């Protein structure tokens, strides 16, 4: 299982701010596959990848980053602090 | 000192944290909730934070900007509901000379806005909107 954290608009679309996911449901254990999965389950996310960054265990990671059991993944929409 | 919390920001306390005998300059930036966004009237802002990561990124940004120089930094970013005039973030920087302090403070707020996972939702009379999300 991985722990997926969702924030702001993404949490609103998905309807929760975190959930656990079995890596087995993904085509491959990567960030890109996780996003493909999320787009399929939550069509409102379709086409929004260009706005999203991803974190793994509190660091930004690229789309081809590999996922492992126990990872904490953040779906990070455009930040707007300050 | 780095902090991401719902508590009210005490700028004087942050200033005190960077104040020291070696510092000839203290620069303080306060990010404040304003009453408009473009042409839209804002009633209040709702900030959300990925607390653990935001704290980590604040520290990383400060360390990179300081880059081993004699610059001290304290940052508190607030989240939750903030009203017009509330302080959303304070960055206090001290250094022996003013140039380093101005430069570091400005660099930190620029990087914070790019990299620190904090979001704001503008709530106005005509509804609400998360900033940065396309149509």
Within 8 A of B88 by CB-CB distance, chain A residues are 81-82
In what side-by-side order are the strands of the sheet with B2-5?
Answer: B2-5, B72-78, B87-95, B25-32
Residue ranges per structural domain of chain A: 2-76
Q: What is the pTM of this model?
A: 0.95
pLDDT at residue number A61: 98
Predicted pLDDT of residue B127? 85
Q: What does the pLDDT read at residue B135?
A: 60
Calculate mean pLDDT across residues A12-31. Answer: 97
Tell the CATH superfamily of the A2-76 domain: Beta-grasp domain (3.10.20.30)
At B50-76, the pLDDT tens digits run 999 999 999 999 999 999 999 999 999
ipTM, interface predicted TM-score of the complex: 0.95
pLDDT at B134: 67
Chain A residues with CB within 8 Å of chain B CB: 5, 7-9, 11-12, 48, 50-51, 55, 58-60, 74, 76-82
Q: Rounded mean pLDDT of chain A? A: 97
Write out the two tokens for B11: 């700028």
The neighbour count for residue B18, using CB atoms within 10 Å, is: 21
In 3D space, the residue among B112, B76, B117, B48 whose CA is nearest the CA of residue A82 turns out to be B112
pLDDT tens profile B80-118: 999 999 999 999 999 999 999 999 999 999 999 999 999
Closest CA to B62 of B122, B1, B124: B1
Q: What is the structure's pLDDT at B126? A: 82
Q: What are phi and psi of A70, to 5 degrees?
A: 90, -5
Instruction: Indicate yes or no: CB of B119 within 8 angstroms of CB of A58.
Output: no
How far away is chain A from the Cα of B97, in angstroms, using its nearest Cα? 25
Residues of B whose CB is below 8 A from A14 = none
> What top-level class would CATH report for the domain B2-124?
alpha beta
Q: Search chain A and give the residue with CA nearest B86.
A: A82
Question: A12: pLDDT confidence band, cut at 50, 70 and 90?
Answer: very high
**Distances in whole angstroms, Cα of residue B109 to Cα of each of B15, B75, B91, B131:** 16, 10, 8, 17
Query: What confidence tens digit (pLDDT) does each residue in B16-32 have?
Result: 999 999 999 999 999 99
């Amino acid at each position: 299982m991985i722990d997926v954290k969702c924030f702001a608009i993404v949490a609103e679309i998905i309807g929760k701010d975190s959930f656990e996911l079995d890596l087995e449901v993904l085509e491959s254990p990567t960030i890109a596959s996780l996003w493909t999965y999320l787009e399929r389950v939550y069509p409102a996310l379709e086409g929004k990848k260009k706005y999203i960054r991803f974190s793994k265990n509190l660091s930004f990671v690229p789309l081809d980053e590999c996922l492992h059991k126990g990872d904490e993944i953040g779906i990070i929409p455009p930040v707007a602090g300050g | 000192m780095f902090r991401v919390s719902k508590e009210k920001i005490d700028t004087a306390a942050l200033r005190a944290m960077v104040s020291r005998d070696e510092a000839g300059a203290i620069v303080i930036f306060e990010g404040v909730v304003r009453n408009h966004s473009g042409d839209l009237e804002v009633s209040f802002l709702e900030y959300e934070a990925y607390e653990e990561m935001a704290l980590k990124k604040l520290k990383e940004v400060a360390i990179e900007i300081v880059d081993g120089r004699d610059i001290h930094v304290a940052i508190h970013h607030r989240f939750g509901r903030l009203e017009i005039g509330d302080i959303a973030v304070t960055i206090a920087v001290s250094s022996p000379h003013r140039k380093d302090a101005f430069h570091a403070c400005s660099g930190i707020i620029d990087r914070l806005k790019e990299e620190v996972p904090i979001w704001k939702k503008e709530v106005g009379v005509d509804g609400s909107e998360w900033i940065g999300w396309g149509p």
